Amino acid sequence: MIGQAVASRDSLVQLYGVVMTADSLRGLPGVTIQIKNQNRGTFTNDKGVFSIVVMKGDQIEFTYVGYKPVQATIPKNLESNRYSIIQLMVVDTVYLPATIIKPRPRREQFERDFVNIQVPDDQLEIARQNAITAQSRILQQSLPKDGAEASNYVIRDIARSTYYSGQLRPQAIFSPLAWAEFIRAWKRGDFKSKK
């Protein structure tokens, strides 16, 4: 048991390094660094620097939008438990399919086409039923909230209750808008005594 723990500790490696562009050698911020076939990874900081604990023999995948993904393998025969890497990434060119842009129809053409459109009766009836606001309001009140709505409500409620946690709520006396309204009211004469 102790031998397995020592072997496991010896196979751990502190991987650190920097990810840069191949053409200009500038650090890439926010590059995803993931250990292949595992749910562990990290991101580079704003200078392209990263650090993560890996195992000897792990394959590391570097991905970034607009760049070709790159894989690196940690050597199995490392003497040290530290390994540094400078990873260069090459820009990936993506060709999109051609887009044909047609001119907008003239107003007369649009009105003619809109009036002459044939909507099937079953779809038209569905649209009419969906447009009844009173019915949708009743359904909204009678149906229970689903999981997403309920969790969003709870999260908003917690955020609202903890917004000023540990501090006093702001006073209107410190609000520039409140002061502007006070000065306007003073100039209008709202505070003069009425005789």
Range of the domain at 146: 117-162
Indicate whether 9 and 85 sit together in one domain: yes
Total number of domains in the chain: 2
Helix (H, G, I), strand (E, B) or coil at 119: coil
Residue 185 placed within a domain: no
Tell me if 75 is assigned to some domain.
yes
Task: Give the three-state DSSP class for 77.
Answer: coil
3-state SS assignment for residue 71 = strand
User: With 80 as the cut, is the pLDDT of residue 20 above it?
Assistant: yes
Whether the per-residue pLDDT at 13 is higher than 60: the answer is yes
Residue 169: inside a domain, yes or no?
no
Domain-ending residue, one of 89, 106, 129: 89
The whole-angstrom separation of Cα 94 and Cα 66 is 8
Does one domain contain both 81 and 18? yes
Domain assignment present for residue 181? The answer is no
pLDDT at 26: 92
163 half-sphere exposure, CB direction, 13 A CA radius: 8
In a domain, 149, yes or no: yes
Q: What is the pTM of this model?
A: 0.47
Q: Which two three-digit tokens encode residue 4?
A: 């397995």
On whether both 80 and 26 belong to a single domain, the answer is yes
CATH of the domain at 71: 2.60.40.1120
**CB within 8 Å of 60: residues ≥ 6 apart:** 15, 33, 34, 35, 36, 54, 71, 72, 73, 74
Is 106 contained in some domain? no
pLDDT at residue 85 greater than cutoff 90: yes
| Residue 95 covered by a domain | no
Q: Is the pLDDT of residue 153 over 60?
A: yes
Same domain, 22 and 76: yes
How big is the CA angle at 15 (ends 13 and 21), to the nearest 5 degrees?
160
One domain, residues 19 and 79:
yes
3-state SS class at 185: helix
Q: Does 195 reside within a domain?
A: no
73 shares a domain with 17: yes
Place of tokens 């660094």: 33
Same domain, 14 and 64: yes
